[in-house]
């Protein structure tokens, strides 16, 4: 274990944390103390705590040689920063400790992650391997002297071979990783008796022509009687309102046979319809819940917080379920109710036409729940405006005829004038919105998580209003509540 690189990395983050401009810092989302983060890694429960790691460049607000940053929590709500867990300091990971997962084996917390190795001087070609690190205190990790534990990609793949997700079934460990061959993205399966010796066990899924050239960050698990493959494909072309972001994150639902390693599944569905959601990972906790967290950004999209000394954050933890129709539902975990500091608003049975403002609702950290009666409404469009003021607004609008939920951030502040995202909702007599607003993010859970939209926003302080609105008619609001939320980092 070379501690020098870890020590330097930790010192850099501590030093830079003192220089941050706080204006966009989130109040209840996971972020690094300073500098760059991307994917969530190693979601796990160990010795009573929830642990989350993340891809981290401790020296800059831009992506660079990857380390693993680390936070832990008792309750999935209040997070505490721990020292950086992994630095790229061995021959098996010298160009970066890329994404991976965590599993507990007896007393030991294991991190299984990708060692990024460049194959050429220009650093354009990669030859990625899989590694193991372990710990018995959940803070300090040793790298396995056997590393790399998977030294070469399978024949059906290429040097783009990364993001191992590990789980146990029966006596064996299983691992899925993303790879690519001749511009076809895929997910491959491995099996191991001991987390150190791995045997290739086939292809779990691959692009059918138009589903991307590389599949990143796969995750595979049983949920509500079916099997789910989640992954983040690169290279899916936009198609109407679908696949509007640079890269996608979505899932396939199907059946899996451990004996043959065959996964029979339906089509690919996007998991979140907002601007900023990628590289999601899940884990099962001791209450049997499947919980997922994503990266609340997108490659090559604006990150105005870079001027302020940091970049990137993770989404709220979301509980996953499959609906009867096999659609994934994501709902904020129950524990998040602990964030409620003060109830700011209670409304029931009101009709709104035009605009209704709430002058007392000016908090930067807010949770809002609203249920609209679609039978008793005749407006063409209605919804909520957040962070509204003289110059800015973030609009959550429902287009009744088109049944489209629209998250419009064209006036959401600095750097994000790239318009709206739309999602088609199923037919229903009501619309339920559950919204988490943070200083520079909004997460919208519609109809108990059937549709979710996550986006970063960068409003200025004075644009701090909340409004209900209805255009060309009235909307019937059955109920609406709002709470001021706690700033867990304050
Ligand atoms: C996804 C990803 C992973 C990789 C990591 C590198 O966002 O590209 O495939 O392991 O980020 O930081």
Q: Please write the tens of the pLDDT for every residue from 449-486.
A: 999 999 999 999 999 999 999 999 999 999 999 999 99
Is residue 417 pLDDT above 80, yes or no? no
Cβ of 68 closer than 6 Å to ligand 1, yes or no, is no
For residue 8, report the distance from its CA to the centre of ligand 1, in Å: 23
Q: What integer pLDDT is reported at residue 1 of this predicted model?
A: 54
* Average pLDDT rounded to a whole number, residues 261-266: 97
Pocket test for ligand 1, best of 39, 158, 160, 295 (most atoms within 8 A of CB): 39
Is residue 362 pLDDT above 80, yes or no? yes
Distance of CA 22 to the CA centre of its chain: 22
**pLDDT above 70: percentage of residues in the chain:** 99
Q: What is the phi/psi pair of residue 9, to 5°?
A: -65, -45
Q: Specify the long-range contacts of residues 14-22, CB closer than 8 Å, at least 24 apart.
A: 16/309, 19/309, 20/308, 20/309, 20/310, 21/307, 21/308, 21/309, 22/308
Cβ of 216 closer than 6 Å to ligand 1, yes or no, is yes
Pocket test for ligand 1, best of 62, 113, 163 (most atoms within 8 A of CB): 163
For residue 448, report the distance from its CA to the centre of ligand 1, in Å: 30
Cβ of 114 closer than 6 Å to ligand 1, yes or no, is yes
For residue 245, report the distance from its CA to the centre of ligand 1, in Å: 16
Ligand 1 atom nearest to 63, measured from its CA = 12
* Average pLDDT rounded to a whole number, residues 318-347: 97
Cβ of 66 closer than 6 Å to ligand 1, yes or no, is yes
Cβ of 160 closer than 6 Å to ligand 1, yes or no, is no
For residue 297, report the distance from its CA to the centre of ligand 1, in Å: 12
Cβ of 38 closer than 6 Å to ligand 1, yes or no, is yes
Is residue 2 pLDDT above 60, yes or no? no
Residue bearing tokens 């962070």: 387
Residue nearest to atom 8 of ligand 1 (CA): 216
Is residue 15 pLDDT above 80, yes or no? yes
Ligand 1 atom nearest to 217, measured from its CA = 9
For residue 114, report the distance from its CA to the centre of ligand 1, in Å: 9
**pLDDT above 90: percentage of residues in the chain:** 95
Ordered domains of the chain (ranges, CATH): 4-332 (2.115.10.20), 338-485 (2.60.120.560)
For residue 249, report the distance from its CA to the centre of ligand 1, in Å: 13
395 forms beta bridges with 385, 408
Q: What integer pLDDT is reported at residue 410 of this predicted model?
A: 94
Cβ of 217 closer than 6 Å to ligand 1, yes or no, is yes
Pocket test for ligand 1, best of 67, 98, 233 (most atoms within 8 A of CB): 98
Ligand 1 atom nearest to 39, measured from its CA = 7
Distance between CA atoms of residues 245 and 262, nearest Å = 30
Cβ of 98 closer than 6 Å to ligand 1, yes or no, is yes
Pocket test for ligand 1, best of 128, 162, 298, 314 (most atoms within 8 A of CB): 162
List the single range of 103-107, 151-155, 244-248, 429-433 with lowest mean pLDDT.
244-248
Residue nearest to atom 9 of ligand 1 (CA): 216
> Quick one: tokens of 153?
């990609």
pLDDT confidence bin for 267, thresholds 50/70/90:
very high
Distance between CA atoms of residues 441 and 454, nearest Å = 7
Distance of CA 29 to the CA centre of its chain: 11
Just list the catalytic residues.
39
What contacts 135, CB < 8 A, 6 or more positions away?
A: 85, 108, 109, 111, 141, 142
* Average pLDDT rounded to a whole number, residues 45-63: 98
SS3 labels along the chain: CCHHHHHHHHHHHHHHHCCCCHHHCCCCCCCCCCEEEEEEEEEEEECCEEEEEEEEECCCCCCCCCEEEEEEECCCCCEEEEEEEECCCCCCCCCCEEEEEEEEECCEEEEEEEECCECCCCCCCECCEEEEEEECCCCCCEECCCCCCECCCCCCCCCCEEEEEEEEECCEEEEEEEEEECCEEEEEEEEECCCCCCEEEEEEEECCCCCCCEEEEEEEEEECCEEEEEEEEECCCCECCECCCCECCEEEEEEEECCCCEEEECCCEECCCCCCCEEEEEEECCCCCEEEEEECCCCCCCCHHHHHCEECCECCCEEEEECCCCCEEEEECHHHHHHEEEEEEEEEEEEEEEEEECCCCCCCCEEEEEEEECCCCCCCEEEEEEEECCCCEEEEEEECCCCEEEEEEEECECCCCCCEEEEECCCCCEEEEEEEEECCEEEEEECCCCEEEEEECECCCCCCEEEEEEEEEEEEEEEEEEEEECCCCC
Residue nearest to atom 6 of ligand 1 (CA): 98
Ligand 1 atom nearest to 178, measured from its CA = 9
Distance between CA atoms of residues 1 and 94, nearest Å = 13
Q: What integer pLDDT is reported at residue 419 of this predicted model?
A: 86
- Express each pLDDT in 123-179 by its tens digit: 889 999 999 999 999 999 999 999 999 999 999 999 999 999 999 999 999 999 999
- Express each pLDDT in 17-51 by its tens digit: 999 999 999 999 999 999 999 999 999 999 999 99
Distance between CA atoms of residues 44 and 319, nearest Å = 14
b/e 132-151 (16+ beta carbons within 10 angstroms → b):
bbbbeebeebebbeebbbbe
For residue 399, report the distance from its CA to the centre of ligand 1, in Å: 36
For residue 479, report the distance from its CA to the centre of ligand 1, in Å: 42
């Amino acid at each position: 274990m070379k501690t020098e690189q870890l020590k330097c990395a930790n010192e850099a983050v501590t030093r830079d944390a003192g220089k941050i401009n706080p204006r966009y810092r989130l109040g209840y989302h996971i972020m690094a103390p300073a500098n760059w983060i991307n994917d969530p890694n190693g979601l796990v429960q160990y010795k009573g705590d929830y642990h989350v790691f993340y891809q981290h460049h401790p020296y800059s607000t831009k992506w660079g040689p990857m380390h693993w940053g680390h936070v832990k929590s008792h309750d999935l709500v209040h997070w505490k920063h721990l020292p950086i867990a992994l630095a790229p300091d061995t021959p098996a990971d010298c160009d970066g400790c890329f994404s991976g997962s965590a599993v507990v084996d007896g007393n030991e917390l294991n991190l299984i992650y990708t060692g990024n190795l460049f194959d050429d001087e220009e650093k354009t070609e990669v030859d990625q391997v899989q590694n193991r690190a372990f710990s018995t205190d959940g803070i300090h990790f040793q790298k396995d002297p056997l590393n790399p534990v998977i030294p070469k990609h399978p024949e059906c793949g290429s040097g783009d071979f990364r993001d191992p997700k590990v789980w146990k079934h029966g006596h064996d460990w299983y691992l899925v990783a993303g790879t690519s061959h001749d511009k076809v993205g895929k997910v491959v399966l491995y099996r191991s008796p001991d987390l150190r010796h791995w045997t290739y066990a086939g292809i779990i899924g691959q692009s059918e022509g138009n589903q991307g050239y590389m599949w990143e960050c796969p995750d595979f698990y049983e949920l509500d009687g079916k099997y789910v493959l989640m992954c983040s494909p690169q290279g899916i072309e936009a198609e109407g309102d679908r696949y509007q972001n640079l890269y996608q994150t979505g899932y396939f639902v199907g059946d899996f046979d451990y004996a043959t390693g065959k996964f029979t599944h339906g089509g690919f569905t996007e998991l979140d319809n907002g601007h900023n959601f990628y590289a999601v990972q899940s884990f099962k906790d001791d209450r049997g819940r499947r919980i997922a967290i994503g990266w609340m950004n997108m490659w090559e999209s604006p990150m105005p917080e870079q001027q302020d000394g940091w970049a990137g954050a993770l989404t709220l933890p979301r509980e996953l379920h499959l609906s009867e129709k096999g659609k994934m539902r994501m709902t904020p975990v129950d524990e998040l109710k602990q964030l409620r500091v003060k109830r700011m608003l209670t409304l029931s049975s009101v009709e709104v036409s035009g605009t209704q403002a709430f002058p007392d609702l000016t908090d930067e950290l807010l949770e809002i729940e609203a249920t609209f009666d679609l039978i008793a409404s005749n407006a063409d469009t209605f919804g909520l405006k957040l962070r509204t003021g003289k110059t800015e607004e973030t609009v959550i609008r429902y287009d009744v005829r088109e049944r489209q939920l629209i998250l419009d951030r064209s006036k959401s502040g600095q750097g994000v004038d790239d318009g709206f995202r739309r999602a088609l909702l199923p037919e229903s007599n009501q619309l339920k919105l559950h919204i988490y607003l943070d200083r520079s993010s909004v997460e919208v859970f519609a109809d108990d998580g059937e549709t979710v939209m996550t986006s970063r926003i960068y409003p200025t302080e004075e644009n701090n209003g909340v409004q209900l609105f209805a255009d060309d008619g009235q909307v019937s609001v059955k109920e609406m509540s709002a709470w001021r939320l706690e700033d867990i980092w304050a």
